[in-house]
């Protein structure tokens, strides 16, 4: 279990990184390496060039400005989990970070790496989708912002161009409620089902809801029918939404659980989220 040969470069700027990517179509970016290095060891990935972002300044750091929480792409899960700023403005995000794998992995794994990897059973893509987050990316042709909805194309697939680098992740902090929850068989396992939900609560009613599911489905996905069924309803009045969520997604089967099972436990995650919404509206 040793990586195949590759050439390695650690550029000092994003622009250099982009041109290195442009130079070799089989090049791959290295962020924290917590997903890529095992793939190399298993020889399931065999890039010819590895472009390491660790020397590029300004890719880490967390800021909160004008209702946007901006996380540098190379920010580790651990620093998000422990950031006083995140814990203050969006504690659910800090808690979501703590759901990822184990501390020994969170110290190295980065949000940008996880988003770009687009694992169907990862937490960040679901969080981004539910929050309507964006990624800022730079390529040889310039920079752009991609919304989460436009970014995730399928399991391990994104709309990033081969020469593009994610430089940061932006999450709107706009007073909407955030809820992230997961069923893991053991501490730190990949989620059998991950559910992220954001919504407004006004007068005990849920509005403007965005619901994303990962882990249970072939790729991270929104649940538009469940969202629509929930719109304007009280948390307790959510049977239609629950039925819709069970029906509209295509759940996956593997050795860790059948599609039926994943549907069932996704439903229980949704019910937990709705119970929490009920409690929040009770407190409001």
Partner 1 sequence: MTQPAEHVSVQVEVNGRRYQRSVMARLTLSDFLRDELGLTGTKVGCEHGVCGACTILIDDEPARSCLMLTVQADGKKIRTVESLASGREMSPLQACFQKHHALQCGFCTAGFLMSATALLEEGQPTREDIVETLSGHYCRCTGYSPIIDAVEEAAAKEPS
Partner 2 sequence: MSFPHSQSPSIAARSIGARVPRGDDPRLLTGRGQYLADIVLPGELHACFVRSSAAHARITRVTTDEARALDGVVAVWTGEDAAKFCEGIVGELEVEGCFATTMPLLARDIVRYVGEPVAVVVAESRYVAEDGCDLVDVDYEPLEPVLHPRSALEGGPSANEELPDNVALRGGKVLGDVEGAFNDAARVIEATFHSGRLSAGPMETRGVIASYDWTSRRLRLWTGSQMPHYIKYCLTAYLGFPENECEVLTPDTGGGFGQKAHIFPEEMLLPLLARELDRPVKWVEDRRENLMTATHAHEQFIDIAYAFDSDARATGVRIRATGDGGAYHQPPWSMGVEPWCTAMVTPTGVYDIPAADLTYEAAATNKTPIGAYRGVGYMAGTLVRECLMDDAARAFKLSPFDIRRRSVVREFPWTNPQGIVYDEGSWLQTIDELERMVDYPAFLERQAALRAEGRFIGLGLSVFVESSGESTAMGKAHDLGGIYHDTATVKMEPNGSVTVTIGLTTQGQGHRTTMAQVVADSLGVPLEAITVRAAESTTYGWGSGTVGSRGAVIAGGAVLRASNVIRTKLVALAASMLEADPADIDLVDGAAVVLGVPGSSVSIIDLATAVYFDQSAWPADFDPTLEATLAYDPARPIFSNGGHAMIVEVAPETGFVTVEKVFSVEDCGTVINPDIVEGQIRGGVVQGIGAALLERLVYDDSGQLVTTTLLDYHMPSMDFSPPFEIHHLETPSSHTPGGIKGMGESGLIAAPAAVLNAVNDALSHTGTVLHDIPITPEQVLRALRG
**Residue 188 found at the interface with partner 1 (CB under 8 A):** yes
The residue to which tokens 């990033």 are assigned: 160
Query: Residue 21, interface with partner 1 (CB under 8 A)?
Result: no
* Contact range with partner 2 by CB under 8 A, out of 6-14, 218-226, 235-243, 256-264: 256-264
Q: Which of 107, 172, 237, 261 binds partner 2 (CB under 8 A)?
A: 261
Among 26, 43, 55, 185, binds partner 1 (CB under 8 A): 55
Backbone angles phi, psi at 141, to 5 degrees: -90, 5
- Give the torsion sign (CA, 3, 7, 13, 14): negative
For residues 1-34, b (16+ Cβ closer than 10 Å) or e, as one string?
eebeebeebebeebeebbebbbebeebbbbbbbb
Q: Report the partner that residue 112 touches, choosing among partner 2, partner 1, none (CB closer than 5 to 8 A by kind).
A: none
Q: How far is the CB of 39 from partner 1 (least distance, A)?
A: 9
Query: Minimal CA–CA distance to 17: which of 61, 73, 71?
Result: 73
Alpha-carbon distance of 123 to 125, in angstroms, equals 6
- Show the site string, 30-49: x = touches partner 1 by CB under 8 A, - = not: x--xx--xx-xxx------x
The token pair that represents 247 in the structure block: 């029906």
Give the interface size with partner 1 as a residue count (CB under 8 A). 40
Give me the residues paired with residue 244 across strands.
none
Q: Is 268 in the site for partner 2 (CB under 8 A)?
A: yes
Is 255 a binder of partner 2 (CB under 8 A)?
A: yes
Distance of CA 89 to the CA centre of its chain: 18
Say if CB 232 and CB 207 are below 8 A apart.
yes
Contact call for residue 255 and partner 1 (CB under 8 A): no
Contact residue for partner 2 among 47, 109, 191, 257 (CB under 8 A): 257
Residue range at the interface with partner 2 (CB under 8 A); choices 62-70, 145-153, 160-168, 254-262: 254-262
Asked whether position 78 contacts partner 1 by CB under 8 A, the answer is: yes
Asked if 89 interacts with partner 1 (CB under 8 A), we say no
Q: Provide the H-helix boundaries in the chain.
A: 14-23, 36-41, 77-82, 84-89, 91-98, 103-106, 111-117, 123-131, 148-151, 224-230, 239-248, 259-283
Q: Is the dihedral of CA 133, 58, 67, 97 positive or negative?
A: positive
From the list partner 2, partner 1, none, partner contacted by residue 281 (C-beta under 5 to 8 A by kind): none
CA–CA separation, 183 and 194 (whole Å): 7
Site residues (vs partner 2, CB under 8 A):
1-5, 42-43, 183, 185-190, 192, 255-258, 260-261, 264-265, 268, 272
Site residues (vs partner 1, CB under 8 A):
1-12, 16, 20, 24, 30, 33-34, 37-38, 40-42, 49-52, 54-55, 78, 101-105, 107-108, 186-188
């Amino acid at each position: 279990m040793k990586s195949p040969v590759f050439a390695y470069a650690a550029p000092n700027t994003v622009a250099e990184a982009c041109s290195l990517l442009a130079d070799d179509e089989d090049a791959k970016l290295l962020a924290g390496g917590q997903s890529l290095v095992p793939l190399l060891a298993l020889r399931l990935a065999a890039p010819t060039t590895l472009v390491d972002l660790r020397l590029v300044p300004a890719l880490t750091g967390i800021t909160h400005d004008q209702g946007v929480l901006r996380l540098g792409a190379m920010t580790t899960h651990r620093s998000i989990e422990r950031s006083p700023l995140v814990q203050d403005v969006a504690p659910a995000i800090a808690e979501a970070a703590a759901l990822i794998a184990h501390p020994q992995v969170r110290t190295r794994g980065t949000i940008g790496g996880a988003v770009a990897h687009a694992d169907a059973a990862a937490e960040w893509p679901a969080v981004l989708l539910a929050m309507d987050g964006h990624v800022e990316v730079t390529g040889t042709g310039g920079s752009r912002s991609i919304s989460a909805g436009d970014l995730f194309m399928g399991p391990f697939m994104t709309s990033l161009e081969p020469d593009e680098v994610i430089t940061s992740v932006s999450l709107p902090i706009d007073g909407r409620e955030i809820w992230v929850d997961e069923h893991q068989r053991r501490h730190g396992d990949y989620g059998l089902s991950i559910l992220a939900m954001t919504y407004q609560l006004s007068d005990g009613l849920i509005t403007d809801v965005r619901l994303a599911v990962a882990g249970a489905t072939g790729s991270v996905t929104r649940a538009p029918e469940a969202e629509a069924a929930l719109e304007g309803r009280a948390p307790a009045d959510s049977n239609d939404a629950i039925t819709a969520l069970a029906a509209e997604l295509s759940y996956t089967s593997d050795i860790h659980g059948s599609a039926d099972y994943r549907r069932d436990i996704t439903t229980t995650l949704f019910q937990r989220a709705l119970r929490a919404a009920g409690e929040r509206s009770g407190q409001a």
